[in-house]
Amino acid sequence: MRRLNPTSLGQHLDVLYRAAWGLCGSREDAEDLVQETYARVLARPRMIREDERAYLMRAMRNTFYSRLRTASRRPQEAATLEDIEPADPRAGNRPDRVAEFGEIMQAISELPEDFRLAIVAVDVLGLSYGEAAKALDAREATITTRLYRARQRIAKEFDDSPPSGEGSAAKRSLSVKENS
């Protein structure tokens, strides 16, 4: 057990922000989720056993669920602007980099929740399988299976190879810079 150092938590911000975007599917919600997670964690002194990043992942998952519960209780009237006005002329104005990143995060956010949490914990946050299992309260074997299937869906989603056979769903085409 050791005391969580508030000043060292900032170093995880970028990766936590990306993870939050993967969980929520939108930049604005990701910002809210990260802000609320940090606010909760920093509200009082904490003693932690695990890695800081794993601790933050657990805190963020709890905050995420808590926000979902709150949102489900709050009556919310949602509509699209198309009901009122023509389409937003800004659509497509964002830099390619953001669009690509946004597309990947959007694809993650559309995965089933268990798959989403596993891939966010391991491939976005960079936790080990063991750390991810602890953070997500699941067995390590369960995490690896979910991770495998989540990656499989993401790979298929961005598969650039020509479709073989009929009825293949529209796939997102994406060129990804490889770090070699």
By the criterion CB under 8 A, which residues form the site for another protein? Answer: 3, 5-7, 9-10, 13-14, 16-18, 21, 26-29, 31-32, 34-35, 38-39, 42-43, 45, 76-82, 84-85, 87-91, 93, 97-98, 101-102, 104-105, 119, 122-124, 128-129, 141, 144-145, 147-152, 154-156, 158, 174, 176-179
β-partners of residue 3 are: 47
Q: Residue 147 contacts by C-beta under 8 Å, 6 or more apart in sequence?
A: 115, 118, 119, 122, 123, 129, 132
Residue number with CB closer to another protein (14 or 113): 14
Helix or strand (DSSP H, E) at 35 = helix 27-41
In the complex, least distance from residue 21 CB atom to another protein, rounded to whole angstroms: 8
Token digits for 78? Answer: 């949602």
**Whose Cβ is closer to another protein: residue 16's or residue 58's?**
16
Residue type, 132: A
Residue 39: helix, strand or coil by DSSP?
helix
Query: C-beta of 6: minimal distance to another protein in Å?
Result: 4
**Cα–Cα distance measured from residue 120 to residue 100, given in angstroms and rounded to the nearest whole number:** 17
Shortest spacing between CB 29 and another protein, in angstroms: 8
Closest CB to another protein among residues 34, 57 = 34
Report, in Å, the least distance between residue 38 CB and another protein: 5
- The DSSP string of 130-178 is HHHHHHTTS-HHHHHHHHHHHHHHHHHHT--SPP-STTPPP--------
CB of 173 to another protein, least distance (A): 12
What are the beta bridge partners of residue 48?
Answer: 2
Cβ proximity to another protein, 170 vs 176, nearer residue: 176
DSSP structure class, residue 42: T
Q: Among residues 45 and 167, whose Cβ is nearest to another protein? A: 45
